[in-house]
A = this chain, B = another copy of it.
């Protein structure tokens, strides 16, 4: 009860359209029209000036909540991310913000922590808030059903984490091709025995990367050490753990390792260093995403560029298209192999 419920709580200082109308000596609806960029022509110029003056004098500020209730749009895009602590999602949100805010929309952000129940709660909450659209950066395969059902109520765009056979529009990236690029690179360098450090299978990117990589290995006659270990959620620590498993394994050690994202690669690199293995002297190592600063690692990391910023921008454009009633086509952005110094010929 700390917040007073009277007019004192109103953050515009209590100045409403009616106050402006009274001061200008016109009807509220005229004020509404004068202030609406699409309708201002319907108000005679002198009247409009009168209104603008009154509004300025009173310090009038439209109430976007009331407007939202009235016309059903909130100028808000819900963004569901897994973890804002992850360097990978920030550029996506950055791109998205830039691309939607030209229309006056703002992102409303929540984090699932990659938990399905939290995902469901957040989705529900966003629907309650009547966001105009939702961009999902946090989709796991188990979320597909509720996502598609929510998609009947509000436009939803799937970004970054691909889903199989969904009706929802997607802005993704060719993860399979990315995996292929790494395997081809290893092959060209003459590696014969390679390994993958896997991310979780229910995040669509990882199985695709795995598939692309293995495909090329088979075709090119590379032997792939199969590791059971998968990261629950690929942070640096998981990279250390996965590399530890690989090191403890008996049999010949691979000469090249594909970490399915940069965090895994960073952890793996540090673990290799502790074990006294040289990169790329003893082992070549490649990551995925091209996070900021992996070019400054020791050695600079060979990785696949994931165009996060572009994914965010494109998702924003897709939102705009959907709100304009257009039917956007799925977008798949291309990966690009960035060869640095962590990979070398055998």
Contact = CB atoms under 8 A, between A and B. Distances in A.
Q: Which 5 A-B pairs have the closest CB atoms?
A: A2-B325, A298-B298, A84-B94, A11-B153, A11-B154
B87 A91 contact: no
A87 B2 contact: no
A26 interface: no
A19 interface: no
A103 interface: no
Nearest to A63: B130
A84 B81 CA distance: 14
A61 B127 contact: yes
**Interface range on chain A: under 10, 10 to 19, 20 to 34, or 35 or more?**
35 or more
A134 to B, nearest CB: 10
Contacts of A153: 11-13
Contacts of A106: 108-110, 125, 129
B270 A296 contact: yes
A68 B327 CA distance: 32
Taken together, the copies of this chain in the complex come to 2
A125 B75 CA distance: 11
Interface in A41-55: none
25 contacts: A1-B325, A2-B323, A2-B325, A3-B72, A10-B72, A11-B127, A11-B131, A11-B154, A12-B127, A12-B128, A61-B124, A61-B127, A63-B128, A63-B130, A64-B129, A65-B65, A83-B94, A87-B292, A97-B111, A98-B111, A104-B125, A266-B293, A269-B296, A293-B293, A293-B294
Given A72-B9, A108-B106, A325-B2, A65 B266 contact: no
Contacts of A291: 293
A85 interface: yes
A329 interface: no
Given A10-B72, A12-B153, A66-B69, 15 more contacts: A2-B324, A2-B325, A3-B72, A12-B128, A61-B124, A65-B68, A84-B93, A84-B97, A97-B110, A101-B110, A101-B111, A106-B109, A269-B296, A293-B296, A296-B298
A215 B63 CA distance: 50
A293 B293 CA distance: 7
A341 to B, nearest CB: 11
Interface of A: 1-3, 5, 9-13, 61-66, 68-69, 71-74, 76, 83-85, 87, 90-91, 93-94, 97-98, 101, 104, 106-111, 124-125, 127-131, 153-154, 266, 269-270, 291-294, 296-298, 309, 323-326
A73 B323 contact: no
A94 to B, nearest CB: 4
B5 A72 contact: yes
A296 to B, nearest CB: 5
A65 B64 CA distance: 10
Nearest to A153: B11
